[in-house]
Structure 1
């Protein structure tokens, strides 16, 4: 396995999906490669967390 360069589907920047990250994904049973860079994944997670706060009882 070699490092892969992937284009983020949100911001369009390129990021490297390292060999080590690929091994981690495989160990966890993830079938798909990441589609977003680390910054966009972080922003998306924050948005989901903020949206979910309003629905807690």
Structure 2
């Protein structure tokens, strides 16, 4: 397994999906890679909590 570079679907910036994060996702049972960078994920999460 190796780090993956992914383009954020919200802001278009490139971010790294590390091996550690990939293992965490697998452990949690998530099948899809993230489509948003950390900043966009946080912003979206805050928006949903209102």
CA RMSD of aligned residues (A): 0.4
The two structures have a TM-score, normalised by structure 1, of 0.86
Structure 2 unaligned blocks of 5 or more: none
Report runs of 4+ in structure 1 exceeding 2 Å deviation: none
Structure 1 unaligned blocks of 5 or more: 51-57
**Highest CA radius of gyration, 1 or 2?**
1
TM superposition shift of 1:37:
0.2
Question: What is the aligned residue count?
Answer: 50
